[in-house]
Structure 1
Amino acid sequence: MPLFSSAFARRTIAFLAAGVLALLAIVAASGWLSVRTAQHAETAVVERQIRSLATSLLAATLDAETGQRGFLLTGEPRYLGPFERAQPRLRSDIASLRTLLANDARQLAVLNDIAGVLDQKMAELNQTIEMAKNGRRDAAMEIVLSDRGRLLMERARVQLGLLNANAEGRVTLRLQEVNDGAELLTWVTAAGSLLILLFAAGASWTVVQYTRELMAARVELQGVNANLEERVVERTEALTRANEEIQRFAYIVSHDLRSPLVNIMGFTSELEAAMKTVGPYVAGDASLTAKAKLATDEDIPEALRFIRASTSKMDGLINAILKLSREGRRELHAESINLVSLFENAAASVRHQTEEVGAEISVPSTAPALVTDRLALEQVVGNVVDNAVKYLARDRPGRIIITAGETARRVHIDITDNGRGIAQQDHERIFELFRRAGAQDRPGEGIGLAHVRALVRRLGGDITVQSELGRGTTFRIDLPRRLRLNDNSRQGRGGE
């Protein structure tokens, strides 16, 4: 049974595709959640830094105030240590906060307000310390007791607390989002894993079922193969005999039909010659002159034209059948073919036609090795290229591209054009003898592609077509890398 047309193949591919999609979904979800979690974690770290700096600002301000009070009460310079250490801390912490809040206009406004308050507080502390150093301790104490510094401190404490609370709230929110992402990732992974297990189970069940069917078919096949080789030999001989009979029949019919046609054509010529003599003689009888003149001038010549056209057409058709018969009887000779040279010769043979219509033919610079019958392949490629030129569209520049590729055991030649194209329903019909497709505005009798297919099949290959009306056509010639000659291909030409 063909593997990829069976229900087994369809089910297996469906299960595997579903499993791959589930796995890709898990990977995509995991990646997205990981990026999202990393972003939330990074934001939480920033918010914690903001909270830490806000706390540090408040502590530095308190240290500065403590140093000021100690100096004012004792007059000892050693108490100014906390005050002096607090000032660079305040500047550093405010600068760090500005960097962290650069993208948050609302929080940055709060920080600017805090910085202003702290500047006023530090100015008040500096003022009282300088006054005490200059012996104006009582005046400095009056400033302290005025509650201006206390109010500034309370204001700074409230604003720093607000900044701290906002940061804490955002940290809590980000941590919650991180937890939610981790939980969602767990559910996605669990669901995806379950789906993959189900798909794997389905694929395994399909394989088991197919294996059972395969074993049963194998047992049956062993019984059939017992006499298969003998039956194949018998049928091959029968097909060979049938093919030989068909060729002989075509050959005999061509010869037998051609003889009377030759006679008809000969008598037609004699009749034309006789009319030249009868015409003037009949013209001497006055009563028959008009009718005789009409007959000799119109009726008989018209009949003669029809006879000649019909016989010419029949002769052409019989010559076509005879050509096919002769080709089928020709002995094939396998030889190494330079495909690039063969393509160039085919292009050169139609160059006068392509130049006339402004078309171009593209030939590859390299091509696979091929061992086959040179004459047959030249006829095949030449005929297809000639057809491509013949049916180019007249409303755009013609383009014909010849390419060649290969697989492990086969070589394929593609001949692509941008011509008229062929309707879908005519793709197989064009290979039938005496059948043509599309508008019949080009000379031909419908034997070219039938001849091509017969030649390609004798070479062990096949020819197919892909085409669309108005867009162009591609003929693919598929051949074995090496022609295998059999008894039928080596037979003699025979008499004609």
Structure 2
Amino acid sequence: MISALRPTLLAFSQFVRTPTLGRRVAGLLALAIVLMLVLNLAVYVLIQRTVAFNDTVEEAQQVRLVSREVLTRLVDAETGQRGFLLTARPEYLSIHDEAIQQLPDLLRDLGGLTAGDPDLGPRVERVRELSDQRRAVTEWSLDLARTGRLDEAVSVLRRGEGKVLMDAMRTEIAAIDEIQATRLQFRTRQSEWAGNITVIANALGGALILVLAGISAWLIRRYIFEVQGARDALDRLNAGLEHQVLDRTFELTLARDRAEAMLREVNHRVGNSLQLVSSFMSLQLRHLVDEGARAALKESQARIEAVAHVHRRLYTSGDMSSVAMDEYLEGLISELSQSLCPDKDGCSIHLDAVPMRVSTDQAVSLGVVVTELVTNAVKYAYEPGKPGQIRVSLGQGPNGRAILTVEDDGPGMGDGGVKGTGLGGKIVSAMASGLRSAVEFDKAHKGVRARLTFDL
């Protein structure tokens, strides 16, 4: 993280150290940022005060609601008591009992809301005591009524002890409301004062930021005019340099075109020379009687043709650094079929190659390998006069490698040795070594299957 920010910090420090504009703009920006931070802090404090005020309001409303609910439940209990004493009907007792059951939960909630409050805590405790005393008086009168002593129960009611307790409870609850109202009024004045201060600070801060922005704009405008003048001078200098670069580029283009033309000419001459050598061998074949010499010369001619085919591909294509291997193999197999399998009822060579580009050196090595393996298959895979198929395939292998396979359905290699003089095998091994690979023979195949895996 620090290493990533280091270039930015260095650029900023260099900008600040500039003699005039950099220091002024940086100072103005720093002052504007400080003002924005102060304004944000003021807004944050106001938001916190508003949140605290809202919490206070909600808590006060809860205290007032619960305290009034306590008073309401006691009034319900008293109403049920009076109704039962006057009518002796049990449904009034159900009103009394329901109110009495709810009182403990309400008093517990009220105590939790005012816990630790030095003003409200004692008053809530006083409400709890008055509530217990009022419940005791109510239960006493009801017990007298349940045991048949109705006159005594009514006399308890007429003494007014319950009324005194209820009046005291109303007084305490009214005091709780008054304390909460006073607190809310005080917090409201504080919130309004803080809001006014924040508005004034925001207005002053906004005005200062606008002034700083105006000064920065004026400084930057002056700097832009200076930069524009320097840019015009630089454009004039660049125009002269571009003219020189165009002249030099034109010269380099001509030199490259000449080099490419010379390279094409070299490839063309090499291809012609190889073709001339192949023609000399064809003339020599006509005068040879020894079949061994004819076969050896014919194999050499096929090897030369494989190399010549690469050069023909090079000087007839726009890319001098790589060869389309699938197209190259197609032409090579066609030439091998014409020279090695002229009889249509005899051997046949089939190609299955995916589009693939390889370097020139790889194409030469692969062409020689295919020529040697196909020639060997034509000579030894099938008996004279019996048709047979030779298959050449080129495809993609794992890990970005390619696989070249030449196979036939003949009798195989027998004891595992390569038939012939062994020169073809040495050539194949040398070419495979140049590809940093080796030819592998699949012994599980019925005939001969040679596989070469190489890097692209």
What TM-score, normalized to structure 1? 0.43
Computing the radius of gyration from Cα coordinates, the structure with the larger value is 2
TM-score (norm 2): 0.46
